[in-house]
Structure 1
Amino acid sequence: MAGQSMLKFTTVHRDMPEKRPPDLRKQDFNEIYAEYARDKAAEQASRCSQCGVPYCQTHCPLHNNIPDWLRLTAEGRLQEAYEISQATNTFPEICGRICPQDRLCEGNCVIEQSGHGTVTIGSVEKYITDTAFENGWVQPIRPHAERPESVGIIGAGPGGLAAADMLRRQGVQVAVYDRYDRGGGLMTYGIPGFKLEKDIVMQRMAQLEDGGVQFVLNCNVGEDLSFDAIRGKHDAVLIATGVYKTRDLPDSSAEGIVNAIDYLTASNRKSFGDEVPEYDSGALNAVGKRVVVIGGGDTAMDCVRTAIRQGAESVKCLYRRDRANMPGSQREVANAEEEGVEFVWLSAPLGFEGDAVSGVKVQKMRLGAPDATGRQMPEVIAGADYIEEADLVIKALGFEPEDIPTLWGVPELAVTRWGTIKADFTTGKTSLDGVYAAGDIVRGASLVVWAIRDGRDAATAILDYLGQAASVAAE
């Protein structure tokens, strides 16, 4: 049966879900890809070669059992496929939408290397879990037995929520504290709806809440509630705040120069129907403006594509290296170009013009000798500067950690020289007893899938810690 349903990559061509035409999709914030139909999902899953050493699984941070759930999908056994997918991934419906599969699982697919086109792993993963929600297979967490221990998690992003899910499944009492009025972190307020519609995040939040996870929202640790108070309420604490401090540019305080996170948050809040004065005033709204986005990562791609949908007059993305050396997803670059974004490669900002910004001073670059990582270093081309006209400049240069020891009044919490929390990379254990850390606040700005992995690993370590503490107390 399995042999008959699989290895069809030589006769069945790779076929992504239908993508809405650019002229239609740039008019709204809905996801751009349609859903697979059942037969199409089975057909595309059947292309998997069922490798003895599955590189897709190896290169997935969660080591998802991809070949098995592809085989089950090809055989029409979708509930079993979902159960296998969910066993290693807390949020497969989210990873299927926003993971850079071209750099991870799909980019390492064996049949891709042989020229047959990769299996559409992400689209099948999304289909499996969406089908599971539609059919009621995704149930609230119901532990076999409740435990008396409690864990406080600071941060309701993917790392904190993945840990909360695992801890609740073992009966631990979990409270999640977050500065925002909704959970989800950057999945809610940082990633636009055309990549991840917000009801997808909210349905998972509801599932966690129905399963007994307590959410304490609008809670800014260090202001509304002290870190010591949280430690005093719980048997263990997980710090999963992510990194939100924007890397800055000198002399970039003029009106009309904004941070990517502020711009994206305003747009996402508007999609929820919230009152957003900065959007309504035009400060964080691209309508009718000449927009320049500085940066080449996935956040920059989110910004340029958001500006297109807001009705910008023009949208340009400045990046100091070339297309082949940019960190963002090539799939996202292609989507942005289809929607009308212009990429200005080998260009870096030198300064800005106007008290209310009217232009970006641009230095033209060329690629020189490789640095220690092997990437070619950009070098300035003398005398090639020019002005790029702009009414709105969005800085998408990446994120850095906030100074948590100072903000929270815990100088004994050790940090690295980069400001991230110093923690064991396997367990997340910090310098404070019973305090763990996971996700971007440990590894620096990274992918949602890595945050999920870190949160799950930290939850395992916390369960061990609670078990040891219970043993000591029983003696």
Structure 2
Amino acid sequence: MQRFIKLAKAMPDKRAAEGRKEDFDEIYGRYSATEAVEQSSRCSQCGVPFCQVHCPLHNNIPDWLKLTAEGRLQEAYEISQATNTFPEVCGRICPQDRLCEGNCVIEKGFESVSIGAVEKYITDSAWEQGWVTAPVVRSERAQSVGIIGGGPAGLAAADALRRKGYQVHIYDRYDRMGGLLIYGIPGFKLEKDVVERRTALLAEGGIQMHSNFEVGRDAMLSELREKHDALLVATGVYKPRELEAPGDTLPGIVPALNYLIASNRIGLGDPVPEFDSGVLNAKDKKVVVIGGGDTAMDCVRTAVRQGAASVKLLYRRNRVNMPGSQREVQNAEEEGVDFVWLTAPESFHGAGHVRSVKASEMHLGLPDATGRQVPTKLEGSEFILEADLVIKALGFDPEDVPAMFGAPELAVTRWGTLRVDHKTMMTNMEGVFAAGDIVRGASLVVWAIRDGRDAAESIHRYVQSKVSGLAAAAE
């Protein structure tokens, strides 16, 4: 270990921009066994592993790096999966530059250890070797848990609860499990077979999956409460934030998630009439994406692959203050995306269809209460951008879950997220828990996984306390 002094950081090979723009395949290759050993050996094995501290899952990163460097790959996988339900996903899509790698002790002078790439190598090797197995249940329990939402939080909770022997049922309104892992994240970051093989394994382990099941239509929350000993709400947040600018209802202005879902469905072989008609297809269009997060990055890079005539991203702050991954920004720039920094839309124009965006230049002023500099419009700086397709990637808010579920008594915060006791993750309704984005707001997949695993532990304690109480009462 500690070879960072003599050995430079080397990422896996990345496909050339001209070639990768033609398809939706993942852009990064994989380490060879020798490369994985070498790059793992760069870890300094520091006394206080800040990589682990800044990982939401607190993955035992130094341990599995050391095991990989020693060639003990199966043990490395066992350590990796002990804290993470989806290490093959996190190795691909986590913003490591903001989390583990960004806090690596050797980052300042020697560049960080390539943690994400090693994690991907470990897990992909584990799948190939047959080390990844379905949840093993040593003793079946009679109690059942219903999970509303088959995204990362719901699936992580389901995995943990099934391993404890519970009868687990997942209800999801889409036709495939995976949530945003399937429909929101493009294939060039996360190929869909990576998600589908994991969900298939969970089903093999005895988790009952009910797709095309919408709570509020196929069953009310009250009915599911009667059916199960506990419920977990892990629906995520899907309501797009609006621009609220003149002309923002013109045809040709679409929400980011609608656009990404359409593209992913095409990749999965599904019929998508709105794509075929051109409404959600960027081919030969002048595309303007508004936003600065990872969803905006997904949109611009998808538009490039669909054959857009031009792709511009408008963001009201500068590159340093952009919330999205800097690695993704670099990838997008390589693929020809034009970033128009310090710019905000004023209005949208066109006769029956959007044709242009009127925008203004911005100036970053003093920091607000959050510490971020406040963007302010520069008077007289307006200019026009041509646009045939405008994609709104401004973030997501919660849907009205109490109304959807027929449970108006379900408490929410002033932001519309579900209100929970953060010690137990239980809502104000007895036996109904919540986790993931529907509690914390739009966030990272790795946080959803963490919340799902934590919720599973709380549900286990709750159900067992009920079982113990019933047993005591029977005596």
TM range (shorter): over 0.9
What is the percentage of aligned positions where both structures have the same residue? Answer: 67
Look up the equivalent residue of 1:310 and give its one-letter code: Q
Q: Which runs of 5 or more structure 1 residues have no equivalent in the other structure?
A: 1-5
Distance 1:437 1:300 in 2: 27
Match among 74, 78, 83 for residue 73 of structure 2: 78
Distance 2:344 2:423 in 1: 38
CA deviation map 1:135-154 (0-9, x unaligned): 10011112001000000000
State the match for 1:3 in structure 2. none
State the match for 2:193 in structure 1. 199
Instruction: Please state whether the residue corresponding to 1:323 is helix, strand or coil.
Output: coil
CA deviation map 1:183-216 (0-9, x unaligned): 0000000000000000000010011000011111
Distance 1:365 1:215 in 2: 48
Q: Aligned-residue CA RMSD in angstroms?
A: 0.7
State the match for 1:372 in structure 2. 369
Distance 2:121 2:63 in 1: 15
State the match for 2:385 in structure 1. 388
Look up the equivalent residue of 2:272 and give its one-letter code: V
Distance 2:348 2:238 in 1: 24
Q: Check if 1:68 corresponds to 2:63.
A: yes
User: C-alpha displacement at 1:426, in angstroms?
Assistant: 3.7
User: C-alpha displacement at 1:361, in angstroms?
Assistant: 1.2
Match among 272, 275, 280 for residue 279 of structure 1: 275
Q: Check if 1:231 corresponds to 2:222.
A: no
Instruction: Please state whether the residue corresponding to 1:393 is helix, strand or coil.
Output: strand
Distance 1:142 1:320 in 2: 49
Instruction: Please state whether the residue corresponding to 1:42 is helix, strand or coil.
Output: helix
State the match for 1:145 in structure 2. 139
Look up the equivalent residue of 1:71 and give its one-letter code: K
Q: Check if 1:107 corresponds to 2:102.
A: yes
Match among 99, 118, 122 for residue 124 of structure 1: 118
State the match for 2:17 in structure 1. 22
Instruction: Please state whether the residue corresponding to 2:320 is helix, strand or coil.
Output: helix
Correspondence 1:184-263 to 2 at 5 A: 184-250=178-244, 251-263=247-259
Instruction: Please state whether the residue corresponding to 2:97 is helix, strand or coil.
Output: coil
TM-score, L = length of structure 2: 0.98
State the match for 1:423 in structure 2. 420
State the match for 2:130 in structure 1. 136
Distance 2:138 2:214 in 1: 33
Q: Check if 1:95 corresponds to 2:109.
A: no
Q: Check if 1:173 corresponds to 2:167.
A: yes
Look up the equivalent residue of 1:233 and give its one-letter code: K
User: C-alpha displacement at 1:239, in angstroms?
Assistant: 0.2
State the match for 1:463 in structure 2. 460
Look up the equivalent residue of 1:65 and give its one-letter code: N
TM-score, L = length of structure 1: 0.98
User: C-alpha displacement at 1:305, in angstroms?
Assistant: 0.2
State the match for 1:302 in structure 2. 298
CA deviation map 1:434-456 (0-9, x unaligned): 00000000000000000000000
State the match for 2:287 in structure 1. 291
Look up the equivalent residue of 2:284 and give its one-letter code: G
State the match for 2:469 in structure 1. 472
Look up the equivalent residue of 2:67 and give its one-letter code: L
User: C-alpha displacement at 1:224, in angstroms?
Assistant: 2.0
Look up the equivalent residue of 1:154 and give its one-letter code: I
State the match for 1:436 in structure 2. 433
CA deviation map 1:291-341 (0-9, x unaligned): 000000000000000000000000000000111111110000000000000
Instruction: Please state whether the residue corresponding to 1:296 is helix, strand or coil.
Output: coil
State the match for 1:164 in structure 2. 158
Contact 1:14 1:118 in 2 (8 A): yes
Correspondence 1:3-22 to 2 at 5 A: 6-22=1-17
Distance 2:10 2:363 in 1: 37
How many residues are matched?
A: 469
Quick check: 324-333 or 421-430, which moved more?
421-430
Look up the equivalent residue of 1:152 and give its one-letter code: G
CA deviation map 1:113-145 (0-9, x unaligned): 3x1010000000011011111110011112001
Look up the equivalent residue of 1:337 and give its one-letter code: E
User: C-alpha displacement at 1:425, in angstroms?
Assistant: 2.5
User: C-alpha displacement at 1:383, in angstroms?
Assistant: 1.0
Instruction: Please state whether the residue corresponding to 2:384 is helix, strand or coil.
Output: strand
State the match for 2:444 in structure 1. 447
Contact 1:240 1:439 in 2 (8 A): yes
State the match for 1:52 in structure 2. 47
Contact 1:426 1:457 in 2 (8 A): no
User: C-alpha displacement at 1:231, in angstroms?
Assistant: 1.1
Distance 2:84 2:17 in 1: 32
Match among 321, 330, 334 for residue 330 of structure 2: 334
User: C-alpha displacement at 1:268, in angstroms?
Assistant: 0.3
Look up the equivalent residue of 2:388 and give its one-letter code: D
Distance 2:31 2:136 in 1: 31
Look up the equivalent residue of 1:139 and give its one-letter code: T
Instruction: Please state whether the residue corresponding to 1:286 is helix, strand or coil.
Output: coil
CA deviation map 1:82-135 (0-9, x unaligned): 00000000000000000000000000000103x101000000001101111111
Q: Check if 1:270 corresponds to 2:266.
A: yes
Instruction: Please state whether the residue corresponding to 2:360 is helix, strand or coil.
Output: strand
Contact 1:153 1:239 in 2 (8 A): yes
CA deviation map 1:46-70 (0-9, x unaligned): 0000011100000000000000000
| Moved beyond 6 Å, runs of 4+ | none
Look up the equivalent residue of 2:346 and give its one-letter code: L
Q: Which runs of 5 or more structure 2 residues have no equivalent in the other structure?
A: none
Look up the equivalent residue of 1:367 and give its one-letter code: L
Instruction: Please state whether the residue corresponding to 1:466 is helix, strand or coil.
Output: helix
Distance 1:241 1:28 in 2: 30
